[in-house]
Structure formats: structure tokens, C-alpha cells
Amino acid sequence: MDGLELVKLFHADPSLIYEYVIETYELIRKVEDSIKSYITLKPLDEVLKECKIVSDKIKDGFKGRLAGLLIAVKDVISTKGLLTTCGSKMLSNYIPPYDATVIERVSAEGGIIIGKTNMDEFAMGSTTENSAFFITRNPWDLSRVPGGSSGGSATAVSAYEATISLGSDTGGSVRLPASYTGTVGVKPTYGLVSRYGLISYGTSLEQVGPIVRDVSDAALILSVLSGHDPRDSTSLKVEAVDYTTFLKPIPLKKYRVAIIKECINEGVDSSVLSSFNKSIYRLENEGFEVSEVSIPIIRYALPTYYIIAMAEASSNLSRYDGIRYGYHVDVENKLWDEAYTESRSYGFGLEVKKRILLGTFVLSAGYYDQYYLKASKVRKLLYDEFSRILSHYDVVITPTAPSLPPRIGEAISDPMKLYLSDIYTATVNLIGLPAMSIPADIVNDLPVGIQLIGPRLSEGSLINIAYIHEVKSGLKNLIPTAVRPYV
């Protein structure tokens, strides 16, 4: 049963919420040791108290859209009174004094925060191996990574340890782990979902996005998360939309699909390519008009992304000096720069340090024009190119990732391979467009995802297309190998 159906059940009989929570904790007890989705899991009795509050409210007529659903939250999103580490030693004892807007919205609809999920440190990575605490494993194959950086959020949902999860997507961190775990992940239009309370990595690139087990739940949670927030200066002034109205098994208009030639070339695994083609046939059979387009400049998207992301990271992370924010060292008899150095040397991991250094370099006098300014120009060209394509087409479809989930240790030892996993996802972050990853196939018991990209604020159409694909493929609420013995 998905979240949308569960909520209907809970509205009719709120006592079922307790049963659901207890069953979920039972499953967590069985699988969590081998998967390790959570950095912080709320104790069962605390969650049961929250269930009581929600179920009492339902008895008084409350019709919360997420009433009784268990929401897992990436540890980069601020939760009042609940440890929020960003996967870093720097924030290993940070308890935020306030909730992010997305947390307020979820709670106002009766969603129950169950815990905080593991991630690559400060959301820098694609495998969840860069967490300062431990790695998270893919529930489809425990010897493989779940993708990242929102790996814990993806595995919590994929392994039925939560109903819905929230991640953040700066260059693919929601869509890549969704693709690797057989779930649905959405990167909303920039500004559609509030970033207030999201700890910043690449401010101009990122959005909070949900990871769920089917398209209906994507529509449900997106309806709750989206809408204007005066506390986020980049928030769009748009009315909230009920995306569940787009859950129709027939096309709501005649969709024209573009496939980017450069995204289905020799760099893609043959199994990913054949899964991709299967998905395209499914849509063609539903009357979608499919054409191939060429966007040669797309080959510059990934380096452009990494220059801009690192530049923004170096600036955003400068606040962690151990005095204003972050891991505090004993400052007695130390000069300020010694105290800063000690705190930052201890608090940050290798990947984060590398990015701060590179980011500072590309912004420094003498190099700014060569790197940051040039990247900003390419960003504008990419924007123009996609605007042109999307004035003729409703959706662009690409594989979400060029390969199947790598084995643990494989990508992390080869930074080029690590960065290449974002090759199809990072473009939309540069230009603010919405995109989602949906399951396209299962190959040798491993999931493969495809990515749908639309014009600004086209989330409704993307949901409609994803839903049609889901109905035709039957790929929803998938049960990964590690969970099968228990359901």
C-alpha cells in the first residue's frame, strides 16, 4: 500500500496508525543493521506518542494529507530539537533550534518524522560512502552503494523503513539514489520548494526533493512541500498545486518527447541503454511522439556544475570556523587562525576539504575569469539551449545514471567515475528545471532508472507521464532483495 492509500485508511480508522508504526519498527529492527539508513532514529515510544497526537486530532476531524505517514529526513535538513549532522564531524553535536519550512509543512499535515538519514558529508558525493559516520548499503545488493548523497533517504524508503523521505538535490543527489534503489525521486523547479532550514552546499543549484516508492506518493508529498515561503528569498511566488490531480493513466495532452543523442552514446552501460529503450517504447505505444535531438554543449555541463558547486561550497562552508559554527576546539592560548585551522582540519573530511580548496581557487583573483566566469557563461548557454528544445518538446528523457549501482569502494577510489555518475543529472540544477527519476527496469535484480526533464514548473506533466509509465511497466512499490524475507 502506498502513502496515499494509507492516509485514507488512517482517516477512517486512526488506531491503524499504531499498527503501521509498530510493523515498520519491527522491519527496521531486522534490516537496519545491514543497510544503515539512519544516523538518528527516534525511539519507538517517542514516535508512538506522536501517533497519539495525530490520531486524537483525526478523531476531532483533522484530515491531514500525510496523517500517520512516517517521514525520514536527510540529515542536511534542520529539525528542531533533533540532531542534524550533515554527515559531518563538524556538526556532530548540532541540534537546530528551529524547523526547516519543509518540516513545518510535513508536520502540519500530520506526517511523523521518524529519523534523520545518512548522507555524504555536506551532500558532497554520489555514493553515501563520504559520510563521516558509516556507509549505507543498497538493499538490492548489500555489496553495492545506494547512490548519494541522499543515500540514507533512498534506502529508508526502498527498504520500507519509512513511507516517504526527503532528500536534497544539488546535482543529482535525490535522483541518482532513487535510480539505484528502484524508487521515485523528484528535483523540483528551483524555487518551488523552500530552502529555509536546508543547510547550504550549492545555494543556486539545490532543492529539497522527495524520494518515494511510487508516483502517487510523489504527487502527494510534492503538493505539501511546494508553494511560496517568505523566509526563502529565492522562493517563487506561486500558488500551491494539487499534483494528485495529474495521476491519470492517460496523457493529459499530446506529449512530445525529446531524447538527447549525446546522452545515449558509448559511455552508457548496455543494460542501462536497453532498459532506457524499453521505457521509450512503452511511451511510444501510448501515443507519445518521440524524436532525437542533439545538444553538443551538454558535454560541458558536468565540469560547469563542479566549478560552480565547488565555488559555492567554499563560500557556504566558510562559516564553520569552530567559533561561530561547528566543531569547537579549546581556544585557550591559541591565535584565532590556529583555532580555525584546528577546527576545520578535524571537522571536515577529505572530499569536503578538496572542494573548499578547489572552490576557493576558481574564485581567486587571476583565475576567476578562467573558471567561474567561464562556467557562468556556459550555464547561460545551457539554459538557452534547453529553453529552445523545451519550446518544441514537453519532456526530455535521459537515463538517470550511465551505469548500474557500483560496488562499495569502486567509485570512491576513482574520483572521475564518482563525478561521472552525475553526468545526466547535474545539468538541470544549473538551469533550475524540474526533473524526476522513475524506475525503468530491473536488470539482474538491480533497478535502473530513467530521468524526465520538463520546462519550469511542469511538475504536473512530469507526474502524469511518470504515472502512465508506471501503470504500463508495473514498476512500483518494488521490494528489494534484503527486505524480501520479511514481507
Told to judge if 472 belongs to the known catalytic residues of this protein, a careful annotator would answer no
Measured from the CB atom, the residue of 264 and 418 that comes closer to ligand GLN is: 418
C-alpha cell at 72: 525520514
Q: State the CB neighbour count (10 A cutoff) for residue 387.
A: 13
Rounded CA separation 98/82 (Å):
10
Do residues 212 and 3 make contact, with C-beta atoms less than 8 angstroms apart? yes
Measured from the CB atom, the residue of 229 and 422 that comes closer to ligand GLN is: 422
Total length of the chain: 487
Rounded CA separation 16/6 (Å):
9
- The minimum distance between CB 313 and ligand GLN, in angstroms, equals 8
- Scan residues 417-476 and list those touching ligand GLN (CB under 6 A): 422
Helices (H), 196-296: 215-225, 270-285
Rounded CA separation 386/453 (Å):
10
Identity (one letter) of the amino acid at 24?
T
Told to judge if 149 belongs to the known catalytic residues of this protein, a careful annotator would answer yes
The residue of the chain with the least Cβ separation from ligand GLN equals: 173
- The minimum distance between CB 266 and ligand GLN, in angstroms, equals 22
Choice from 31, 90, 124, 221 touching ligand GLN (CB under 6 A): 124
Choice from 123, 132, 221, 428 touching ligand GLN (CB under 6 A): 123
Choice from 24, 85, 126, 163 touching ligand GLN (CB under 6 A): 126
Choice from 64, 110, 171, 405 touching ligand GLN (CB under 6 A): 171
Choice from 32, 99, 169, 470 touching ligand GLN (CB under 6 A): 169
Choice from 149, 314, 427, 458 touching ligand GLN (CB under 6 A): 149
- The minimum distance between CB 149 and ligand GLN, in angstroms, equals 5
Residues 50, 56, 57, 58, Cα dihedral to 10°: 110
Catalytic residue among 107, 168, 173, 343: 173
- The minimum distance between CB 309 and ligand GLN, in angstroms, equals 5
Rg (CA), the chain: 21
Choice from 85, 101, 170, 216 touching ligand GLN (CB under 6 A): 170
Stretch that binds ligand GLN, among 120-128, 151-159, 228-236, 277-285 (CB under 6 A): 120-128
Catalytic residue among 42, 74, 187, 476: 74
Rounded CA separation 261/64 (Å):
44
Measured from the CB atom, the residue of 18 and 300 that comes closer to ligand GLN is: 300
Q: Which residues contact 8 (CB under 8 A, 6 or more apart)?
A: none
- The minimum distance between CB 205 and ligand GLN, in angstroms, equals 8
229 binds ligand GLN (CB under 6 A): no
Q: Which residues contact 466 (CB under 8 A, 6 or more apart)?
A: 184, 215, 218, 436, 438, 452
Measured from the CB atom, the residue of 172 and 454 that comes closer to ligand GLN is: 172
Q: How is 83-148 classified by DSSP, letter by letter?
A: ---TTSGGGTT---SS--HHHHHHHHTT-EEEEEE--SGGG--SSS---SS----BTTBTTB---S
Of 240, 235, 245, the C-alpha closest to 223 is: 240
Choice from 172, 177, 191, 399 touching ligand GLN (CB under 6 A): 172
Site string for ligand GLN, 309-328 (x = CB under 6 A): x-------------------
Measured from the CB atom, the residue of 123 and 468 that comes closer to ligand GLN is: 123
Stretch that binds ligand GLN, among 51-59, 167-175, 361-369, 403-411 (CB under 6 A): 167-175
Q: Which residues contact 156 (CB under 8 A, 6 or more apart)?
A: 37, 38, 72, 115, 117, 162, 165
Looking up cell 528542531, which residue turns up? 80
Rounded CA separation 356/358 (Å):
6
C-alpha cell at 459: 511538475
Stretch that binds ligand GLN, among 12-20, 121-129, 154-162, 279-287 (CB under 6 A): 121-129
- The minimum distance between CB 81 and ligand GLN, in angstroms, equals 25
Choice from 87, 110, 111, 125 touching ligand GLN (CB under 6 A): 125
- The minimum distance between CB 178 and ligand GLN, in angstroms, equals 12
Catalytic residue among 88, 149, 275, 461: 149
Stretch that binds ligand GLN, among 119-127, 272-280, 443-451, 455-463 (CB under 6 A): 119-127
Q: State the CB neighbour count (10 A cutoff) for residue 261.
A: 13
Measured from the CB atom, the residue of 309 and 412 that comes closer to ligand GLN is: 309
Reduced to 3 DSSP states, what percent helix, strand and coil does the chain have, rounded to the nearest 5? 45, 15, 40
Stretch that binds ligand GLN, among 94-102, 168-176, 212-220, 446-454 (CB under 6 A): 168-176
C-alpha cell at 101: 519550512
Q: Which residues bind ligand GLN (CB under 6 A)?
A: 123-126, 149, 168-173, 201, 309, 422
User: Which sequence positions are flagged as catalytic?
Assistant: 74, 149, 173
